[in-house]
């Protein structure tokens, strides 16, 4: 891939363009290509046009030490025909890369040729280089990793040592993960997470061990309902109820608009546009110079005094009749409970009143197993099997970290 070499870069402010604006987001606008100049070191003639390769005064050819310079004063942009007459391919000049596989002319920073699909590892005619990943481009921010780029003034400074690249096996990672300290910290976190996961898996694996019954307990309860004449209230009166009193109460609220009021204040209104900042001129070793107008984004904000009509609402109460009445109904009483710590279990005695009935029964039985290490585990067998677990009996229990899954008597 043939490259133009940058021989000078300058910038200036064109007073005729100060205050000129472009659409928001504009950064660099190509203005045109100028003809460079050079000075003959043999006879001292200055301002020799870039297209001339011999000095018009002494006839000596231009040598490599006589670098091109930007034209002095106001210059006229070259047409594509004039560029071609100078021996400069206009298409090649205005592109910054040529595909080495098919020869297609490409835009700055192209990584994949749209013509043949080739992967391009080099970017020619670039003015910036990324100090983080080494990517060359013409942008102030690296299109590969987003870091700020540095100017690549090859004609005005010594070549800098290449940026040290990470090992090939790390390059697939994002740039921030390629730092050893970050990678080590991430690996430690992943290792700790894996350890916790493995520990949880091991703890959940069932295990079987010998254990002794060290305690038992049981509890039985009966919920009793009683038919009572109770006072109650509501927005409707049951047919079988005896009315005690009634009154009008607020049942809900309706939000009703009662008018409007004017609210005024200042609102900030902002617009963003790109404003002309300066013009950059870059000269190359083919006798040409490119000019670009550089714009910067500016946000202009103004405070406007505005007034709006805002609706005003009021909560209007909605009334309804509230009834207080007596009614006969079944009411739950406190459960009757019996407890014990032996294998003989009984239900509590039911009352014999005519206005009381049994609602439901519940029972819970608990057996405590203790292993050789002194660890205690609770098991809830059916209560009709509690007699199988006398204190001191030996069992094989299958359990995980949280509960007993199965019990078998030792043979």
As given in the structure block, the two tokens for residue 179 are 């730092």
pLDDT tens digits along 148-189: 888 765 433 333 444 455 565 555 566 656 566 776 777 788
Residue 107 C-alpha from the chain's centroid: 31
- State the burial class of residue 176 (Cβ atoms within 10 Å of its Cβ: 0-12, 13-18, 19+): exposed
pLDDT of residue 127: 62
Specify the higher pLDDT residue, 107 or 28. Answer: 28
Spatial CA neighbour of 29 closest among 297, 298, 293: 293
pLDDT of residue 126: 58
What residues contact 410, with CB distance under 8 A and at least 6 apart?
A: 210, 394, 395, 396
For the residues 241-249, what does the mean pLDDT come to? Answer: 96
Percent of the chain clearing pLDDT 70 (strictly above) = 79
Q: State the pLDDT confidence band at 367, using cuts at 50, 70 and 90.
A: very high
Q: What is the CA radius of gyration of the chain?
A: 46
- State the burial class of residue 220 (Cβ atoms within 10 Å of its Cβ: 0-12, 13-18, 19+): buried
As given in the structure block, the two tokens for residue 78 are 């070259």
> Is 397 a residue whose pLDDT tops 60?
yes
Residue 65: DSSP 8-state: T
pLDDT tens digits along 248-286: 999 999 999 999 999 998 888 888 888 998 988 888 888
Say if CB 133 and CB 127 are below 8 A apart: no
* Residue 206 half-sphere exposure toward CB, CA atoms < 13 A: 10
Q: Which is it for strands 97-98 and 48-49: parallel, antiparallel or unpaired?
A: unpaired
| DSSP H or E segment with residue 184 | helix 180-204
Q: State the pLDDT confidence band at 206, using cuts at 50, 70 and 90.
A: confident
Percent of the chain clearing pLDDT 90 (strictly above) = 34
Instruction: Report how far residue 275's alpha carbon sits from residue 298's, in angstroms, rounded to the nearest whole number.
Output: 7
pLDDT of residue 217: 95
Say if CB 143 and CB 134 are below 8 A apart: no
Say if CB 55 and CB 40 are below 8 A apart: yes
Q: How many residues does the chain have?
A: 411
> Is 227 a residue whose pLDDT tops 70?
yes
Q: State the pLDDT confidence band at 1, using cuts at 50, 70 and 90.
A: very low
| Residue 149: how many other CB atoms lie within 10 Å | 21
pLDDT of residue 123: 41
The pTM assigned to this predicted structure is 0.38
For the residues 388-398, what does the mean pLDDT come to? Answer: 92
pLDDT of residue 94: 57
For the residues 8-37, what does the mean pLDDT come to? Answer: 83
DSSP one-letter string for 8-60: EEEEE--GGGTT-EESTT--EEEEEEEE-EE--TTT----EETT--B-TTT-P
Q: Which sign does the torsion angle of CA 62, 65, 70, 72 carry?
A: negative
As given in the structure block, the two tokens for residue 37 are 């100049």
pLDDT of residue 91: 61
For the residues 80-95, what does the mean pLDDT come to? Answer: 72
What residues contact 70, with CB distance under 8 A and at least 6 apart?
A: 8, 10, 34, 36, 37, 281, 283, 289
3-state class of 386 per DSSP? Answer: helix
As given in the structure block, the two tokens for residue 311 are 């609706």
Residue 143 C-alpha from the chain's centroid: 20
Q: Which sign does the torsion angle of CA 218, 363, 359, 335 carry?
A: positive
Specify the higher pLDDT residue, 244 or 79. Answer: 244
Return phi, psi of residue 82, to 5°.
-70, -40
Q: State which of 71-85, 168-182, 345-359 shows the largest mean pLDDT.
A: 345-359
Instruction: Report how far residue 250's alpha carbon sits from residue 289's, in angstroms, rounded to the nearest whole number.
Output: 85
* Residue 48 half-sphere exposure toward CB, CA atoms < 13 A: 25
Q: What's the CA dihedral at 91, 92, 93, 98 to 10 degrees?
A: 140
> Is 58 a residue whose pLDDT tops 60?
yes
> Is 55 a residue whose pLDDT tops 50?
yes
According to DSSP, the residues that pair with 216 across neighbouring strands are 367
* Residue 89 half-sphere exposure toward CB, CA atoms < 13 A: 11
As given in the structure block, the two tokens for residue 239 are 């047919």
pLDDT of residue 348: 93
For the residues 10-37, what does the mean pLDDT come to? Answer: 83
What residues contact 302, with CB distance under 8 A and at least 6 apart?
A: 268, 269, 270
Q: E-strand spans in 78-205? A: 97-98, 105-106, 128-129, 136-137, 150-151
**Which of 35-49, 125-139, 293-307 shows the lowest per-residue confidence on average (mean pLDDT)?**
125-139
First vs last C-alpha separation in the chain: 87
Q: State the pLDDT confidence band at 51, using cuts at 50, 70 and 90.
A: confident
| Residue 62: how many other CB atoms lie within 10 Å | 19
């Amino acid at each position: 891939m043939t490259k133009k070499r940058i021989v000078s870069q300058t910038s200036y402010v064109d007073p005729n363009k100060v205050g000129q604006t472009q659409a928001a987001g504009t950064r660099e606008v190509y203005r045109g290509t100028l003809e460079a100049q050079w000075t003959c070191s043999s006879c001292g003639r200055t301002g020799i046009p870039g297209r001339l390769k011999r000095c018009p005064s002494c006839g000596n050819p231009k040598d490599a030490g006589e670098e091109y310079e930007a034209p002095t004063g106001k210059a006229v942009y070259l047409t594509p025909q004039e560029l071609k007459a100078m021996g400069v391919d206009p298409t090649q000049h205005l592109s910054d890369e040529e595909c080495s596989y098919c020869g297609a002319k490409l835009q700055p920073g192209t990584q994949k040729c749209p013509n043949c699909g080739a992967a391009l590892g080099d970017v020619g005619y670039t003015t910036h280089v990324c100090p983080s990943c080494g990517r060359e481009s013409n942008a102030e921010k690296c299109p590969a990793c987003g870091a700020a780029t540095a100017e690549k003034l090859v004609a005005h400074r010594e070549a800098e040592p290449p940026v040290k690249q990470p090992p090939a096996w790390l390059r697939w990672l994002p740039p921030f993960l390629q730092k050893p300290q970050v990678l080590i910290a991430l690996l430690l976190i992943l290792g700790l997470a894996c350890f916790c996961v493995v520990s949880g898996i091991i703890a959940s694996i069932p295990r079987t061990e010998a254990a002794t019954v060290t305690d038992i307990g049981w509890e039985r309860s009966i919920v009793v309902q009683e038919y009572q004449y109770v006072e109650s209230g509501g927005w409707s009166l049951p047919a079988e109820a005896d009315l005690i009193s009634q009154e009008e109460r607020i049942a809900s609220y309706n939000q009703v608009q009662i008018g409007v009021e004017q609210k005024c204040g200042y609102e900030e209104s902002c617009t963003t546009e790109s404003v002309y900042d300066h013009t950059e001129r870059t000269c190359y070793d083919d006798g040409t110079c490119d000019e670009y107008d550089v714009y910067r984004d500016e946000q202009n904000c103004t405070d406007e005094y505005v007034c709006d009509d805002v609706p005003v609402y009021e909560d209007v109460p909605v009334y309804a009749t509230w009834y207080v009445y007596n009614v006969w109904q079944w009411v739950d009483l406190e459960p009757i409970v019996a407890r014990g710590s032996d294998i003989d279990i009984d239900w509590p005695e039911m009352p014999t009143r005519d206005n009381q009935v049994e609602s439901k029964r519940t029972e819970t039985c608990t057996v405590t197993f203790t292993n050789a290490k002194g660890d205690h585990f609770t098991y809830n067998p059916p209560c009709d099997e509690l007699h199988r677990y006398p204190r001191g009996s030996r069992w094989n229990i299958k359990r995980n970290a949280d509960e007993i899954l199965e019990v078998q008597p030792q043979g």
